[in-house]
């Protein structure tokens, strides 16, 4: 089975998606494919100098379609969840243990309604998190 070579996210509001994820993850967005059949509503998502995925405007302003959820590794899960809320996102699932002592995740919606996950190997700080 070949490895993953690309991932894309679709949203009805690419500008809001870009603002949210630039603040949260430091991603940059480079317009692409303006002179092609795809048109100008596509951006390459960059993490520093590395192209990590694509962003496209949902057809007809429709809400995002169901698809694969992207997980981002973070060191401070609760801090990242607070930051997501401060940027206009919503938490779907708070810290959830998967067993063992190094596997926790949470899921959230960005300001445009795109669902994404967070993964950490860092234990909760202080008393148990509810």
Which residue would you say has higher pLDDT here, 128 or 119? 119
With H, G, I as helix, E, B as strand and everything else as coil, classify residue 84: helix
- Segment 97-110 shows an average pLDDT of 80
Query: Could you report the per-residue pLDDT of 30-66, keeping only the tens digit for each?
Result: 998 777 766 668 899 999 999 999 998 877 666 666 6
Residue 57 to residue 63: CA distance in whole angstroms: 10
With H, G, I as helix, E, B as strand and everything else as coil, classify residue 65: coil
Residue 60 to residue 124: CA distance in whole angstroms: 42
Q: Has residue 130 been placed in a domain?
A: no
Q: Has residue 126 been placed in a domain?
A: no
**Host domain of residue 58:** 8-120
- Structure pTM? 0.72
User: 21-48 burial, b if ≥16 CB within 10 A, otherwise e?
Assistant: beebeebbbeebeeeeeeeeebbebeee
Question: How many domains would you assign to the chain?
Answer: 1
Find tokens 């698809």 and name the residue.
Answer: 67
Task: Kindly indicate the confidence band of residue 129, based on its pLDDT and cuts at 50, 70 and 90.
Answer: very low
Contacts of 89 (CB under 8 A, 6+ apart): 20, 24, 108, 109, 110, 111
Q: Has residue 2 been placed in a domain?
A: no
């Amino acid at each position: 089975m070949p490895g993953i070579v690309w991932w894309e996210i679709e949203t009805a509001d690419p500008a809001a998606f870009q603002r949210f994820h630039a603040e949260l993850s430091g991603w940059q967005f480079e317009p692409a494919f303006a002179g092609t059949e795809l048109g100008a509503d596509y951006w390459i998502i960059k993490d520093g100098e590395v192209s990590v995925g694509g962003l496209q405007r949902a057809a007809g302003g429709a809400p995002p379609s169901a698809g694969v959820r992207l997980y981002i590794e973070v060191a401070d899960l609760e801090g990242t969840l607070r930051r997501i809320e401060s940027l206009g996102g919503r938490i779907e699932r708070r810290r959830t243990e998967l067993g063992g002592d190094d596997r926790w995740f949470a899921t959230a919606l960005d300001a445009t309604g795109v669902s994404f996950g967070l993964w950490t190997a860092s234990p909760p700080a202080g008393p148990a998190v509810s």
